[in-house]
Amino acid sequence: MSETIPQPPTQPRERVSGRDIWSKLSKDQREEIGVAALEVFAGDYAQHTATYGAKTCGDVDPRVVRFTEAAFGAAWGRFVDLIVDEVPQANFVGANGLVKLPSILGRVCLHCGCTANDACEGGCEWVTDTCCSSCSGEITPAKDIAGWPF
Ligand SMILES: [Zn+2]
Ligand SMILES: [Zn+2]
Q: Are residues 137 and 77 in the same domain?
A: no
CA distance 127 to 139: 7
Please check whether residue 53 lies inside any domain of the structure: yes
* Ligand approaching nearest to the C-alpha of 131: 1
* Ligand approaching nearest to the C-alpha of 5: 1
Domain span including residue 27? 15-101
pLDDT computed for residue 150 by the predictor: 45
Cα angle, residue 40 at apex, residues 28 and 74 outer, rounded to 5°: 95
- Tens-place pLDDT, residues 67-114: 999 999 999 999 999 999 999 999 999 999 999 999 999 999 999 999
- Tens-place pLDDT, residues 21-47: 999 999 999 999 999 999 999 999 999
Distance 98 CA to ligand 1 centre (A): 20
**Greater pLDDT, 115 or 138:** 115
pLDDT computed for residue 9 by the predictor: 81
Instruction: Summarize the chain as % helix, strand, coil (round to 5).
Output: 50, 10, 40
* Ligand approaching nearest to the C-alpha of 117: 2
Return residues with CB closer than 5 A to ligand 1 (ion). Answer: 109, 111-112, 114, 132, 134-135
Domain count, the chain: 2
- Beta strand segments in 1-118, E: 15-16, 101-102
